[in-house]
Amino acid sequence: MSWFDFDWVDAFTDSAFGGNGCAVVHGGAALYEDVCMAYVRETSLVECTFTGPSDVADVRVRYFLASREIPFAGHPTIATVAAMRSRGLFQGDALTLETGAGIVAIRLNGDEIEMTQVAPQFGSLVPADLVASTIGLPESAIISPPQFVSTGLPFCITVLRDHDALRAARLDEGPLREVAAKAGYSGSDMAEPFLVTLEGATEAGDTFSRLLMLPPSPPEDPFTGSATGAMAAYLWKYGLMPKDSFIAEQGHDMGRPGRATVTRVGPADAMTGIKVAGQGYVLMRGQVDLPGPSS
């Protein structure tokens, strides 16, 4: 057993109990996968990160759900950098992270942490009626062809007509497995639909989104940074977002309001990256005793 420092950070918010929480375990990147997943389940959070040394970047970051390791996640990236900054673990206003999705560049703009997600990859289109059955809505609630998009982690981007449809959505595991199968995913690698409306939750926002999830994860994610990048790429590709930079909102109906500034890198028809920026609030810190290697 070894003791590790950790920080519990609320990401995409500047205050306690907003945005999306993430526990950052410093120096824990060499821990066994089953230990990392068990730690996520212990916290009841959606994701946790485990950091370590890197030969190709300033720090290595591993991302875990309760059920598996994933290559990248947005709000845990913001949380990890906020935690490291609060402990004085790096100097300057820029650093790089080694992730399973590649090298992620980070820049600090005052209190805001900006990550540049990798160039979007556009995958399979999914029939609107199938996605509608997945979320318990009529097909008419979907106003644009759903498509898998990834800026490090794939999501089925689904644009809904209004907030009423967004709030009425409920996830059905059976149709979801069919959606995943059509895109070549199976088992625990399913990518849930990321639901978005073209109207903010507040006057400041340009979009308002939800991500519904299956067990053992919590039923809904308060703010999803990786999906926000993929969603933005989709909106720009299909001409649904006239701005080059906009405000994405999520979590307000959960009592955990979060917001991100999303900026396109490159032209809409040849994007080379997506910048997603937000703040992080360190809520608590301590030590955790975990079994396995420490280095």
Model confidence over 9-20: pLDDT tens digits?
Answer: 999 999 999 999
The tokens 């995958």 sit on which residue? 123
Taking each helix axis from N to C terminus, what angle separates 225-237 and 74-86, rounded to the nearest 10 degrees?
Answer: 130
pLDDT of residue 186: 56
Exposure class string for 212-239: b at 16+ Cβ within 10 A, else e: bbbeebeebbbbbbbbbbbbbbbbbbee
pLDDT band (50, 70, 90) for residue 218: confident
pLDDT of residue 180: 73
Q: Are 192 and 229 in contact, with CB atoms under 8 Å apart? A: no
pLDDT of residue 17: 97
pLDDT of residue 55: 98
Supply the DSSP string of 258-274, one letter for each residue: EEEEEEEES-TTS--EE
User: Among 20-29, 73-82, 141-150, 175-184, whose mean pLDDT is lowest?
Assistant: 175-184
pLDDT of residue 295: 45
Please, what is the average pLDDT of the chain?
94
Average pLDDT over residues 190-209: 93
Q: Please name which of 103, 64, 106 lies closest in space to residue 84, comparing C-alpha atoms.
A: 106
pLDDT of residue 46: 92
